Chains A and B, each alone.
Chain A
Amino acid sequence: MSDRRLGVFICHCGGNISDYVDVEKVRAEVEKDPDVVVARTTMFACSDASQEEIKAHIKEHDLDGIVVASCSPRLHLETFKGVAERAGMNPYCYSQANIREQCSWAHRNEMPQATDKAVRIIRSALAHTRLSEELSTIRVETTPRVVVIGAGMAGMVASLTLADMGLDVFLVEREAEVGGWTKRWGKLFPSERQGAELVKELHEKVKAQPKITLFTEAELVEKSGTVGDFTVTLRVKDKSNISLKVGAIIVATGFDPYQPAENEYGWGGDRVVTLRREVKTVAYIYCVGSRQSEDCGLEHPNQYCSRYCCSAAVHAGIKAVARDPELNQYHLYRDMRTYGKYELLYEKASHEGSVFVRFDEEAPPEVFPEGDKMIVKAADVLDAGEDIEIPADLVVLVTGMVPRKNDALIAALKIPTDGGGFFNEIHPKLRPVETAINGVFIAGASQGPKTLSESVASSLAAVAKGGALVMKGYVDLDPHVAVVDPDACTWCGKCAEACPYGAIEKVKEGDKEVARVIDALCKGGGPCVPACPEGALDLKGYTNGQIRSMIESMLKEAV
């Protein structure tokens, strides 16, 4: 028993929790804790009405610590911290007990055991809250400048919009020319404009915008500082490194086209790529390098769909027949993914004589030379599986998108990637352009395959989030930072070695050298704490005492 006044709110999550955990029993059990003043269950703790109820309880019972037992803190930690704050309670005296992902969903057919586990999880959260201190956020002033990595379409549009919003922009391009892949493309769907023209139009605007500084043949090699106040280092070809202060970083590094393996559908032969004679018959083979099956034999198969290629190939077919109405075109596809309005392209191509042949994943087409033709052989699902042979003059492999090789950048920014190498957002719906690294945003096809317009839309979404961050003028950081007890510290430097962010410096404390934590740089990751041989470090919000108490509470018999 302490002198704390704690509240516990247990969420049904519709039935996501209460179908598998006896929430009433859990409530009755945790209510026995002598510090718990109020324990309630609620249908949706995150709903506005429940938030208001929790707020009312905090005020009515003068609570100084609360636990909400619901889902993962990744979803709702900030939600309930906000509730505490609105009720006038210190938000760092809030703990979230995850009894959904870590309990109800994991134990769907074991209600007694899941109930028992939920009690333990909540007790441990109560232990954390019981020993919590009132903390205040660390306010960092933001720098009203943004660096955009990649001067393709997404990067250029992002830069122009940021500049329109009144922000200074550094636009960094690895190549000598701006425009990424788009500058090499002809007519684009659905706008029917030339890729090179679009690039030129944007490039002119970038050049004319005084708020944008464009660096070509430049790469970001280092990043330090914290959200809102980063220092990035650029390595520019034939120049010395440049150091820039920025508030946010937007990464729009694009994609690479899939490079077929030697002999994949005949790849490598001149008939596939090099044309020296008139083409009467074209065969398009779709899904090359995309939708590869898990057991296709490749070490890292591209299981994803590349999204843009069906529409692009159908569009190419329309362009081709416009040039030569006599042209025979065969599209060998798996599923025709001309989604949304792109369906109209598919309709048009069908009406204009393109022949669509559906092949089964298990029986991909074969391509082999015969005379001066390439024979494409396939079993047409749409025609009762009949084998067809197309004597093609040209075989077009409809290749997908793969992530760019960007190892240095990824290392410098520490952006998490998915298995294939596309950047990972925090949450595809809640935070689709944000990364686990605060202040670093991802845009365009670097996150996953996209069409041009989708890519630009996503880069503008990143602009919106990055812009909101720096326009506010400040950012409040969690005070979960390490602290050094100078009396116990003997400065051995092990903590500084353990810190990946360089957040620990050596200072003089009287005549003694001790470690000190630079709050704005510390991410609260905590590797310094166990590294200290003297036990001189602790982490605010997750103290050794709290962790120990949490473990003990969890080990106690549930009922």
Chain B
Amino acid sequence: MNQDVLIVGGGIAGMESALTLGDMGFKVLLVEKEGSVGGHMILLSKVFPTLDCASCISTPKMAATAHHPNVTVMTNTRVESIEKQPDGTFKVRLNRQVTSVNPAACTGCGECELVCTVAIPDEFNFDLAARRAAHIPFPQAVPKKAIISRYGSSPCSHTCPAGVKAHGYVSLVRAGKYEEAFKLHMEDAPLPGTLARACYAPCEGACTRGEAEGAVSIRQIKRFMVDRYYADHPEPDYGPPETLLDKKVAVVGSGPAGLSAAYQLARKGYPVTVFEADEESGGMLRYAIPAYRLPRDVVDRDIANITALGVEIRTGSPVKSVKALKDQGYDAVFLGVGTSEAWKLGVEGEDLEGVRDCIGFLKDVNTGKLRDLKGKTVAIIGGGNSAIDPARMAVRLGAAKVLIMYRRSRAEMPAHDWEVQGALDEGVQLETLKTPKRFLGENGRLTKIEYIKMRLGEPDDSGRRRPIPVDGSETEMNVDLAVLAIGLKPNTNPFAGELKENRNGTFTADPETLLTPVPGIFAGGDAVTGPSMIVNAIGQGKRAAFYIDRFLQGESLEGVTFDERLSEVDKQEVLSRGTLSKRERHNAPELTVAERIQGVEEIEGCFTEEEARTAANRCIDCGGCAECHECAETCPADAIDFDLRPEQTTEEVRSVIVSTGYKLFDPHHKEKYGFGKYPNVITAMQMDRLVAPTKPYNHTLRPSDGKSPDNIAFVLCTGSRDCTVGNHLCSRVCCMYSIKQAQLIMGALPMADITIYFMDIRAFGKGFEEFYQQAKGMGVNFVKGRVAEIEETEDQNLLVHYEDIEGGGGHTQAEHDLVVLSVGLLPNPDALRLFKDGALESDPYSYVREIDEDLLPAKTNLDGVFVAGTSSAIRDIPDTILHSGAAAAQTAAYLEKSGVQR
């Protein structure tokens, strides 16, 4: 698609230029970064000095632009760069932004807005009200298409190894949609009850609120959501798929990795058989994790989520070799055998009775083989999470003394601090900077540990300080039982000769596809990664299922991306949005220490509904859209597609008009006026919305308490003619829009007093002076004097300090119940970024420079590039339209003369 003219920016200037050039017969490409054309003007209430409705003037231009046969409009699109070619044409790189909506299918019905669970400050209403993340920009938008506001992945969802949309289910719980929350979770991970209890919740570690008062209690919110769902649904409410595919899959191991792979494959329609060597399914979930952290009925209910799909779990069925499975007719195999073998210390006495590995110990405890340690001294060797569980279990079995022996200090312990603390609370002793040198026994039975003391040296590869033995510090300690928790690896024996191993004893597999060197054999979970989190294993199972499916469908495993996520939002940007108000984190109740150690009752309780929703309400929607997928479920046109990604295209054009408009001055920079601090100090753009026909509230009111203001002040020159904020220029329009608003307020609030604090009233355009005099006649109080400072009173009124020039000078103050800052207009820096290396020249104030304002208005330093409207200087609407006409005329003349061909 080659065009005569590229117009950057679809505000009133861009539209006017586009329509004029289109009428002349030129082909125009109008690119707008927002979701609708119309610019700032469509946001205004009425426009001075005629008091026309801004909508009434804008909408016909917007519609005409969209329907013009010679004008192509691209919204949600950024111009990345423009480069002049040797033949005089311009090469334009465009980037169509993610809206997650297919514009061709969207009918603008707005159903998505009704079900969206995320509220975001509405930029159309200058943050006075909220809108949904799924939204249509405003009622008169052109084109009227929905947009899902996605600023990136929320950190919680982005960090989850299983791709669970944490933000999504938190948002659904917030909205009271508990079943939907559960089902969203089930898309990515089928063991929600387990994760709600035993997940180390990297989501919470990533939560932006963690930088403030504490992360959102995401895991406990999940716990509420799952417990409620399971209470209502003792069994899954679905069955196997109606039709099965003809390729069979074998999964080895029924731990989280295997279950996750089986679940995802079964959902796709594959017949899946899970082979489990143990007597019961669940792997580590059942055999290693203590019930006080993860009750067994929860594991059972979680596993029912998988078996309900028709997945057969054959327990007590160790797999002898991969080949055996292939011989049985399985087309693909997933090995998720976990890490059931413990590393040994390699010291003397390790095979004495009474020296055990943590997995064997926990398995015996969890299967009831070991019920009592009364009076015994138990030493756990190691500092990871796998050391904590045996220690705390030993306490529950009545051990007289339980200690954890670790060779570095507490600070270096890999175990989570709260786990260590839990153990200490329950009476476990910590023996740090010690390591067993040998185990001593009598009659083949352990009686003592001889340990050596350690000191910390320089940091090693892991960043932790290296433990160094202290010579001569050997000491003996009486113990009855020693549990080694120093590391785990998979049992690779059955597959020896078939698969390859890494140096640490794990299977080798491609980290992306999880394919082993043997075709059709995939491996994942702890067996590949080494000991890790449950949620990581679930993610591995899901990943394997994705690639196994492709493998079985004969599709290439290369050139695709599994679970592609938007890049993570910048937390600092999120924090700077100003949507964060302080709300403390609360946790679910826990058993007391005395209660805990009586048995294996679950320590942590569950949120009530109210607590869960309160906790969910602390979410600040970092990524905008929570990916709860409610809109996609609801959309009658099936137009919502979360997999859509930015689209880069290149165009060639013969000329360019820059009409990127202006930026409003941010009044936060004028600290003395208290914007952002005092709720009843608002900007004029907010006031414009308050008096617009499409106003956010039914009445004109002040933000702090919804009261009808009756004494309103306007502070002119906020951010203009003010060297303290770096803007010496006059913004040209503020006097007039303030006078306009004053007139409109007098209509809306006839009893209100209005004061305008000004330096000079600049009513210079056609009909402006008359409009000013009319406002004076209506009773608007004009006070000459610049406002120095604004303070808040107890009842949230504002004290305005000013120099009362006409009253004889001197510092005076007046009280108002609403203050409107008539903010100035600044250049939009986007204009100068369009061309590389600053090729497009600016004037000293960062506006696009017109090389000959007098004779060739709109012409820039680049041949074939013109500027329209406020990109080159602040202008009011009539002047902008005239200037856009000039840009169109210049462009037309250039196109006729230049000879550059399309």
How far in angstroms is the closest Cβ of chain B from A373? 29
Residue A324 is within 8 A (CB to CB) of chain B in the complex: no
> What's the minimum C-beta distance from B700 to chain A, rounded to whole angstroms?
12
Report the minimal beta-carbon distance from A121 to chain B, rounded to whole angstroms: 18
**A470 shortest CB reach to chain B, Å:** 10
B533 within 8 A of A: no
Q: Which of B20-28, B541-549, B601-609 contacts A (4 or more CB under 8 A)?
A: B20-28
Most B CB within 10 A of own CB, among A47, A86, A358: A47
List chain A residues, Cβ under 8 A from B873.
340-341
B620 within 8 A of A: no
In the complex, whether B886 has a CB less than 8 A from a CB of chain A is yes
Q: Which residues 692-719 of B sit at the A interface, judged by CB distance below 8 A?
A: 692-695
**Inside 8 A of B766's CB, which chain A residues have their CB?**
304, 422, 428, 447-449
Q: Using A46-B63, A48-B59, A164-B893 as known contacts, say yes or no to A457 and B732 having CB atoms under 8 A apart.
A: no
Report whether A464 and B730 are in contact in the complex, using a CB–CB cutoff of 8 Å: no
Residue among A293, A429, A458, A464 having the largest count of chain B Cβ atoms under 10 Å: A464
What CA separation (Å) do A198 and B852 show in the bound complex? Answer: 11
CB-based contact B763/A305 at 8 Å: yes
Q: Restricting to B849-902, which residues have a CB under 8 Å from any CB of A? A: 852-858, 873-875, 877-879, 881-886, 888-890, 892-894, 896-897
Question: Bound state CA distance, A347 and B805, in angstroms?
Answer: 20
* Interface pair A291/B762, CB less than 8 Å apart: no
Stretch at the interface among A263-271, A379-387, A477-485: A379-387
Output the nearest chain B residue to A293 by Cβ-Cβ distance. Answer: B773
A468 in contact with B890 given A46-B59, A429-B57, A448-B766 (CB within 8 Å): no
B660-695 vs A, CB cutoff 8 Å, 1 = contact: the mask equals: 000000000000000000000000000000001111
CA distance A162 to B892 in the complex (A): 9
Instruction: Type the 1/0 row for A25-64, where 1 means its CB is closer than 8 Å to any CB of B.
Output: 0000000000000000001101111010000000000000
B140 at the interface (CB under 8 A from A): yes
The reply on B52 being an interface residue by CB < 8 A is yes
Please determine whether A161 and B144 come into contact, CB atoms closer than 8 angstroms.
no
Give bound CA distance, A344 to B723, whole Å.
11
- Point out the residues of chain B lying under 8 angstroms from A141, CB to CB: none
Separation in Å of the B583 CB from the closest CB of chain A?
36
**A residues within 8 A CB of B729?**
340-341, 343-344
Listed residue (B20, B721, B854) with the most chain A CB atoms within 10 angstroms of its CB: B854
Bound-state CA distance A48–B137 (Å) is 13
Q: Using known A-B contacts A193-B854, A303-B773, determine if residue A47 contacts B144 with beta carbons closer than 8 Å.
A: yes
8 Å CB contacts to B: which residues of A169-204? 188, 190-191, 193, 198, 201-202
Q: Is A525 an interface residue (CB 8 A)?
A: no
When C-beta atoms are compared, the residue in chain A nearest to B760 turns out to be A335
Q: For A43, list chain B residues within 8 Å (CB).
A: 139
* A471 on the B face (CB < 8 A): yes
Expressed in whole angstroms, the Cα–Cα distance for A294 and B731 within the complex equals 28
- Choose the segment among A11-19, A219-227, A274-282 that binds chain B (4+ C-beta atoms closer than 8 Å): A11-19
Of A46, A344, A432, A447, which contacts B728 at CB under 8 A? A344
Q: For window 311-351 of chain A, which residues contact chain B by CB distance below 8 Å?
A: 335-344, 347
- Complex alpha-carbon distance, A44 and B42, angstroms: 13
| Chain A residues near B769 (CB-CB < 8 A) | 290-291, 303-305
- Complex alpha-carbon distance, A343 and B824, angstroms: 14
**A454 adjacent to chain B (CB < 8 Å):** yes
Q: For the complex, what is the distance from the CA of A464 to the CA of B17, rounded to whole Å?
A: 9
Q: A48-B59, A429-B57 are in contact. Are A340 and B854 (CB under 8 A)?
A: no
- Contact code string A439-471 (vs B, CB < 8 Å = 1, else 0): 000000001110011101110111111011001
Q: Determine if A471 and B883 form an interchain contact, defined as CB atoms under 8 angstroms apart.
A: no
Query: How far is it, in angstroms, between the C-alpha of A471 and the C-alpha of B26 when the chains are bound?
Result: 11
Q: Are A165 and B896 in contact (CB under 8 A)?
A: yes
| A307 CB–B CB distance under 8 Å | yes
Closest beta carbon of chain A to B759's beta carbon, Å: 8
Q: Does B436 contact A (CB under 8 A)?
A: no
A79 and B805 contacting across the interface, CB-CB below 8 Å: no
Q: Is the CB of B53 within 8 A of A457?
A: no
- Look across to chain A and name the residue whose beta carbon is closest to the beta carbon of B765: A307
A283 within 8 A of B: no
Q: What B residues does A305 contact at CB under 8 A?
A: 763-765, 768-769
Q: With A305-B764, A463-B889 in contact, is A468–B20 under 8 Å at CB?
A: yes
Docked pose: A467 CA to B886 CA in angstroms: 12
Q: Give the bracket for the number of chain A residues in contact with chain B.
A: 35 or more
From B67, B765, B854, B886, contact of A86 by CB (8 A) = B67
Q: Are A157 and B855 in contact, CB atoms less than 8 angstroms apart?
A: yes
Pairwise interchain contact A460-B890, C-beta atoms closer than 8 A: yes
- Among A157, A294, A337, A384, the residue within 8 A (CB) of B764 is A337
Q: How near does chain B come to A425, taking the closest CB pair, in angstroms?
A: 9
A residues near B762, Cβ cutoff 8 Å: 335, 337, 339
- Cβ < 8 Å to A, chain B residues 75-99: none
A164 & B896 in contact (Cβ 8 Å cutoff): yes
B329 touches A (CB below 8 Å): no
List residues of A (141-166) whose CB comes within 8 Å of B's CBs: 153, 157, 161, 164-166
Among candidates A79, A294, A338, A462, residue contacting B730 with C-beta atoms closer than 8 Å:
A338
Closest to B41 in A: A429
Q: Contacts of A464 on B, CB cut-off 8 Å?
A: 20, 24, 885-886, 888-889, 892
CB neighbours (8 Å) of A165 from chain B are 889, 892-893, 896
* Interface pair A339/B732, CB less than 8 Å apart: yes
Inter-chain contacts of B60 with A (CB < 8 A): 46, 75-76, 78-79, 430
In the assembly, what is the distance between CA of A201 and CA of B695, in Å? 52
Distance from A286 Cβ to chain B, minimum over Cβ atoms (Å): 11
Q: Which residues of B contact A465 (CB under 8 A)?
A: 20, 885
User: Is the pair B882, A457 in contact by a Cβ cutoff of 8 Å?
Assistant: yes
Across the interface, name the chain B residue whose C-beta is closest to A156.
B855
Within the assembled complex, what's the spacing in Å between the Cα atoms of A463 and B886? 8
A161 proximity list for chain B (CB < 8 A): 889-890, 893
Taking the complex as formed, is A522 at the interface, i.e. its CB lies under 8 A from any CB of chain B? no
Residue from the set A202, A293, A454, A472 with the largest chain B CB neighbour count within 10 Å:
A454
> What separation, in Å, do the CA atoms of A183 and B886 have in the docked complex?
23
Q: Which residue of A lies closest to B730 (CB)?
A: A343
Q: Which residues of B contact A166 (CB under 8 A)?
A: 896
Is there contact, CB below 8 Å, between B853 and A190? yes
Residues of A within 8 A of B893 (CB): 161, 164-165
Q: How far is the CA of A188 from the CA of B139 in the complex (A)?
A: 47
Q: How far is the CB of B125 from chain A (nearest CB, A)?
A: 13
Contacting residues, chain A, for B64 (C-beta < 8 A):
79, 82
Minimum C-beta distance from A398 to chain B (A)? 14
Interface pair B23/A468, CB less than 8 Å apart: yes
Assess the A198–B854 pair: CB atoms within 8 A.
Answer: yes
Q: In this complex, which of A82, A422, A429 has the most chain B Cβ atoms within 10 angstroms of its Cβ?
A: A429
Residue B66, interface by CB 8 Å: yes
Does B382 have its Cβ within 8 Å of any Cβ on chain A?
no
Check A385–B808 contact: CB distance below 8 A.
yes
A293 CB contacts on chain B under 8 angstroms: 773
Contact with B53, one of A14, A78, A339, A456 (Cβ below 8 angstroms)? A14
A375 CB within 8 Å of chain B: no
**Cβ contacts B22-47/A at 8 Å (1 or 0 each):** 01110000000000000000000001
Q: Which 9 A-B pairs have the closest CB atoms?
A: A14-B693, A461-B885, A164-B893, A460-B886, A468-B23, A448-B766, A335-B760, A47-B140, A49-B144
Which residues of A are interface residues toward B (Cβ below 8 A)? 13-16, 43-44, 46-49, 51, 71, 75-76, 78-79, 82, 86, 153, 157, 161, 164-166, 188, 190-191, 193, 198, 201-202, 290-291, 293-294, 303-305, 307, 310, 335-344, 347, 358, 360, 381-385, 422, 427-430, 432-433, 447-449, 452-454, 456-458, 460-465, 467-468, 471-472
25 A-B contact pairs sorted by A residue (CB < 8 Å): A13-B56, A14-B693, A44-B59, A46-B55, A47-B139, A47-B142, A79-B64, A161-B890, A191-B853, A202-B855, A337-B762, A340-B732, A343-B729, A381-B784, A422-B766, A448-B766, A456-B854, A457-B858, A457-B886, A458-B885, A461-B884, A461-B886, A464-B892, A465-B20, A465-B885
Q: A202-B855, A430-B60 are in contact. List 4 more A-B contacts (CB 8 A).
A: A14-B53, A44-B59, A153-B854, A303-B770
